[in-house]
Every structure is written in structure tokens, then in C-alpha cells.
A and B are shown apart, each in its own frame.
Chain A
């Protein structure tokens, strides 16, 4: 039996191993970053490029989040460089992959700050990862702009942390209001990801607002990231006869949830947040998502010329319609460039003050004004899934 206990110890090693000890973050500098990447110990100010840092999930389950964001950022920096750069210098970006893991994101942030000595960090998408990075940025006095982490705690870490998207309370509020007032629903169930700060944040506010507006939450069930069988939770939800199920998870899970819900004979619409936003959602969910709704940052159907120009440029560069993560990545980089242009010098505190002063900046995902808590105040859109595409339904203002 000694052999068996050895095997069990080894099992737990594998189990925790896949959570914690991973290969070093891979380095994927964009084309422009190649030269700057070699600068090593030299402070960026002495070279002719300004180095920014970016952290994203380029591999792993949520890879499309990181890839879309990187595309958006690259596009914005390319435009900025074509327009002459910042203070006469070109911009470059050093990208690290965190595989969607908070501990890797934290490592990458440390590396960007202490080794690469970047002026500013862009990232992450997932709130759990941004929360891991933020204390490092705050400590190193390097401003950090997250394009799309909506959990409220992210910018509470300190005065160097900013975001260009709205926050979870607002997203939960939007969907609760939409469900009560537009869809006229009385009974809703919730299926949340108990390992995700994002999912818990949205659930919290949705549950409170929906009840405040006179609705009733009939069931709250949970799953853990990585699960692929949600039938137990859905069977329990089905018994309570909800009129809609709020699933504030990521597209990787939502598609499968939708399929299994339909399989169990649950026909009510699913509701969700911006974590649904990925081309892959429709591949995973197929027709099961028809008639479901989610809140989002922008809609590619927005007729404004700035949005349409962004979509055309993005299509030309990468093919495919940009999702909102690409739009927010683009906005985050634009805000960063704008702030660096306005900043008195390129020290951390100066850039921070310039970002904090951002007012009415025209982003493709809405105009950006940063409030005293360093959050962007902007409206959200609600999209409906129709025939494997999203259709604009409503705009909900704060």
C-alpha cells in the first residue's frame, strides 16, 4: 500500500501542479517591439522608442480575450506611430502571455516593471488576473490601464490603476433593469462561476437589483471554471421554473451551459455579461443560444463613423469583425497615448496624473471620462443572439 499512497501524493502533485507551477511566461513581442526588447538594462528614456507593457491570455481557455485585446492595442499603437508617436519617439509594446492564470499575470507584471522597465502596463481582461497584477503596478509606481476588467476591486487597489470600461455593478444593474423592464420577467435563476471574481461581482449586483425592482431570484447555483458538465445544476434550476437564467460566466462555459439547458428541456432565455463576447461562443453554443441576451461595451452595428472606421481598419489588419475586447484594447492604448502626450514628463506619477485627467475622450466603445475612482463612466448596450450573430437591442445609460 506504500506504493498506492505514493501514487496519491503524485496525483495531488499533478493536481496542484496544473494550478500553480507552469512554464515561464512566453515572450511574444510585437514586430515593433523587437528592437526595444533588446534594450535590457538601459532606461527606455535614453533610447528612441518608448516601451509599454502588455499582459494577456494568449494561450489557455480564454485565449481569444488576450488575442483580441492584443490586436486592438497593436492597431492603436500603429496608428499612433504613423501619426508621429509621442514626444518625438516611437512606441513599442512588450507582450507577456499569462495563460489566463493570475499567478502568471503577477509574475509578468513584476518582470515588466523590474526588468523591462516599461512606462505603463496595459491589461488584463479577466478581473482575477488584473487583481493579481495591480498591486505590483501600484508598488512599482507604473500606471496600469485595464481595457476590460469590470470587477470593482481592480481600481480600488490604488491610484495607479485605471480602466476604460464600466464596472460590474453597472453591468449587473443593466441586465437586471433590462430583464425587469424590457423583458418583463418576474422569476430569474442564477448560475455563477464560483472561482471568478468577475462572475461573483455580476451575480451580486444582479441579484440585489433584480429583487429591488420587484423580481424574484428563485435559484442560485454555482460551477467552477473548467467544468464541462452542468446538468446537475441545471436540473436543480429547472425545478424552480425560472423565466430566465442569468449566467455571468465566460464564453467557454456559457456555450456548453446553453446546450445542456436545452437538452434538459429548459427553454427560457439565458442572460449574461461581456464575458460572452467572442466568436467562439456561437461555435460552442450553436443554436442553443438563440434568443439569449447579454450586456456589452459596444456593438459593431453602431453607425458612428469612428466605430465604422475602426471596424474597417481592424478587418483589413486581422480579418473578422472586432469584438468588444478588441475595441476596449484599442481604446485603452489610445487613452494611454493621449495621456503620455499630455504628461509633463514620462515619469510614473506624471503619466498617472495625465490619465486621471482624461475627460470625454472619444473611444470606439463610448466616450471615456474617468471618475475619481479611476473608472470610466459610459453606457452599456444589450445584444440579442439571433441566428449565431449578435443584434443590437438597447442602450442602457448609467
Chain B
């Protein structure tokens, strides 16, 4: 039984990270109807910013409360700026062009970032994986059973797993509030509905879209750092894979739907964990993507997506 609960916790922890990345995906899609394939790579850049900040702070300061705050702040602010630049110079000029053009551009940016970061320029760390510093010192938060038991009947929950989970849920709540209860959120929904009409109504569409991108990118950076704390290895290609998984999670939940992305991500994390734990790991991606296909066949709009046009 202890094994089952450990799998459950592992799966939720993995799903939490997918959820954090999926939130940014789903929000940008909700407003722009653009799958921002560079999202995972923006996340990777954020992780490297956090990595550099942590190293600047040194071992003693990086795990203090202020140190952790600084790491998150630098990464999230840096990525917000990057999101702004990407939107301004790569996506905005293409806004009136067919959607496929922007999509291909997104793939281009994704590759440019993930391969550009492999170059060894001195200020870039190069291709080899790095260990992300233990910014949140791992502490066993809850242990069921005796960990010294040689039979290993124990279940361990770590502090950072709980912290990540709490952050994911509260960010989801915050985003929901922001989109449905604030003035700016109403503007976002209007732009998402029809950006030309929204502009005619006096909504500054360019600014709304830029802020959406900045928000999405800083969410990615935060997600990336929590991921790096969990799985420790940092390398330039990390964004491609994680971005893809998060995208699948967002589609399962109904892309454009904020709580849907979180539920889809947790489901995906749990499915992967149990498939690997109880069958063979070679089945993992087959089952995960198979599940996606089934969901799309039964409910093409995703588990929570609405068929109506108003999706944010």
C-alpha cells in the first residue's frame, strides 16, 4: 500500500510542474489563439536566470527567504521582459498574417533559444547539464511509516512538493480572479473575443496582448524554477520536452481554460507515474498521448473547454 501512496505523491508532484507550465500556455492561447511553442524555452531561460542569481548570491544567501524571493523575482522579471520583446518583435508584426505564420515563428524562436543556449560564450553556461542549487533546502515534510525500516514501508512527502502544489493552486485561483474579476481581465476577454472590435471600443489591444505575454512568460519562469528545484538538472533542451507535456496537459483540460489546464496536468502526471510504476516505462508516452487522443475524440474541446467562442 505504501508504494501506491508514494506513486500518488510522485505523480501529483510531477503533475504540479506540468500545471504551472500549462497555465502560461493556456492563458496566451486564450487571448491570442496562438500556441506559443517558445513557452517551454522561455521557461528554460528563466531557469538559467535563476541559476545565475543563485550563484551570485552564494551558498549561504541563496536559501534564505529573501534570497529565494530574489531568485524568483529576477527570473520572473527577466522573462517578462523577454516575453515582451518576443511579442513585440516576433509576433506583433505577424498578427494580421495567417495563424500558421505565427506558429512557425514560435517554433523558430523555440529552437533559437534552446540551441542558442548551448553555445559556449563564457556568460552562457554551455550544453552540459548543471545542477540547480538547493534553493529550497529539501526537508522531509511528512513521513508515514518508519524510514529506517529496512523493508522500506514508508511514504515521504517533501517540503518543496507541498510548496509547489500550493503555489500552483493559488496561481490558478489568482489567474481566474484576474481574468474574470478585474478590469484588465475584461479587456483580455474582449481582445480574445475579437481584437478588432475590442480596439474599436477603445481597448488598447497592443498593450493587453503585451501584458498577457509578459504575464505568461513570468509564470513560465516561476514554474521553471520550481521544476529545477524538484529535478535538479538544468540544461538548454529541458524546455522542449516539458513544454510539449504541458501543452498536452492544456489540451486535455481544454486549452484556454485555466482550471482545466491544472486538472489536465495533474491527470497527466498521475497517469505517467502509475504507468511507469506498475507497467513498463516504455508505455509511458504511448499511454499519455493515447489518453490525449481519446479525450479529443470524445470531447474535442477538452475536458473543461466550452464550445462557445468565449474562452480565456
Contact = CB atoms under 8 A, between A and B. Distances in A.
A60 interface: yes
A166 B231 CA distance: 33
A13 interface: yes
Interface in A219-274: 221-224, 226, 228-229, 231-233, 235-236, 238-239, 241, 252, 255-256, 259, 263-266
Contact of B241 (A226, A239, A265, A280): A226
Contact of B118 (A7, A60, A259): A60
Contact of A14 (B110, B129, B151): B110
B66 interface: no
B127 A11 contact: no
B247 A256 contact: no
A394 interface: no
A358 interface: no
A3 B99 contact: yes
A71 interface: no
Nearest to A280: B128
Contacts of A18: 237, 240
Given A10-B35, A194-B281, A232 B244 contact: no
Contacts of A64: 128
Given A10-B103, A231-B10, A239 B152 contact: yes
B127 A61 contact: yes
B158 A263 contact: yes
Interface string B272-295: 111011101110000000000000
A232 B128 CA distance: 25
Contacts of A8: 251, 296
A316 interface: no
A283 interface: yes
Given A4-B255, A256-B233, A241 B131 contact: no
Contacts of B272: 232
Contacts of B138: 263
Given A265-B152, A283-B130, A232 B281 contact: yes
B14 interface: yes
A83 interface: no
Interface string B235-247: 1011011001001
A259 B131 CA distance: 11
Given A3-B33, A11-B244, A255-B131, A235 B281 contact: no
Interface string A171-199: 00000000000000000000000100000
Contacts of B131: 255, 283-284, 286
Q: Classify chain B: how many residues form its interface, as a range.
A: 35 or more
Contacts of A226: 237, 241
Contacts of A231: 6, 10, 13-14, 273
Given A228-B238, A232-B10, A284 B232 contact: yes
Interface of A is mostly: helix
A23 interface: yes
B204 interface: no
Interface residues of A, number: 47
A63 interface: yes
B18 to A, nearest CB: 11
A222 B282 contact: yes
B277 A236 contact: yes
Interface in B111-165: 111, 115, 118-119, 126-131, 138, 147, 150-152, 154, 156, 158
A286 B232 CA distance: 11
Interface string A1-36: 101101110110111011000010000000000000
Contact of B100 (A6, A259, A283): A6
Nearest to B132: A284
A290 interface: no
A238 B150 CA distance: 10
A176 to B, nearest CB: 23
Given A13-B107, A241-B152, A252-B233, A63 B126 contact: yes
A59 interface: yes
The 9 closest A-B pairs by CB, nearest first: A232-B276, A228-B231, A231-B10, A59-B127, A232-B277, A63-B127, A63-B128, A235-B6, A59-B118
7 contacts: A4-B251, A6-B100, A61-B127, A61-B129, A233-B277, A241-B151, A265-B154
Given A8-B251, A11-B37, A228-B232, 18 more contacts: A3-B33, A3-B99, A4-B255, A10-B37, A14-B37, A14-B107, A17-B107, A59-B126, A60-B118, A61-B237, A223-B281, A232-B11, A233-B277, A256-B231, A263-B138, A264-B156, A283-B130, A284-B129
